């Protein structure tokens, strides 16, 4: 079992930055994939970025590429999502999730953190 707790969301003006954190408790392995997702009102959940717990970034969506950076700190069991040049369309609830390995469905989810970008 892995428990995930997101933090760092808030209200920011367009062009601003936020850093989200996802603290994981429970045992983690280098094969684990840590992903960030978001869901805006009345929209489907979107995959934003993913990183291998024992390696580097695996994926960025086209909508955030060049603006968002995913990273990890294994010593703190934490994954981060640095979000720069934020746009109103980035407004959503952001979730982190864990898959046991690449190609496997995400199994563990956090409760989400709200990000609101004002124009």
Q: Tell me if 3 sits within 8 A of 26, measured CB to CB.
A: yes
- pLDDT average, residue stretch 10-34: 94
Reported as a single tens digit per residue, the pLDDT across 68-91 is: 999 999 899 999 999 999 999 999
β 46-52/33-39 pair status: antiparallel
pLDDT (tens digit per residue) in 30-68: 889 999 999 999 999 999 999 999 899 999 999 999 999
pLDDT at 26 (0 to 100): 84
In which band, very low, low, confident or very high, does the pLDDT at 107 lie, cut at 50, 70 and 90?
very high
Would you call 74 helix, strand, or coil by DSSP? helix
Taking the alpha carbons of 49, 57, 69, 111 in that order, is the dihedral positive or negative?
positive
């Amino acid at each position: 079992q892995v428990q995930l707790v997101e933090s760092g969301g808030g209200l920011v003006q367009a062009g601003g930055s936020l850093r989200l954190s996802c603290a994981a408790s429970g045992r983690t392995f280098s094969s684990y994939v840590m992903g960030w997702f978001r869901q805006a009102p009345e929209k489907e959940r979107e995959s934003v970025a993913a990183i291998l717990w024992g390696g580097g970034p695996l994926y960025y969506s086209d909508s955030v590429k060049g603006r968002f950076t995913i990273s990890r700190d294994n010593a703190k069991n934490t994954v981060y999502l640095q979000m720069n040049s934020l746009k109103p369309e980035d407004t959503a609830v952001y979730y982190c999730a864990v898959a046991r390995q690449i190609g496997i469905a995400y199994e563990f989810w956090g409760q989400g953190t709200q990000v609101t970008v004002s124009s």
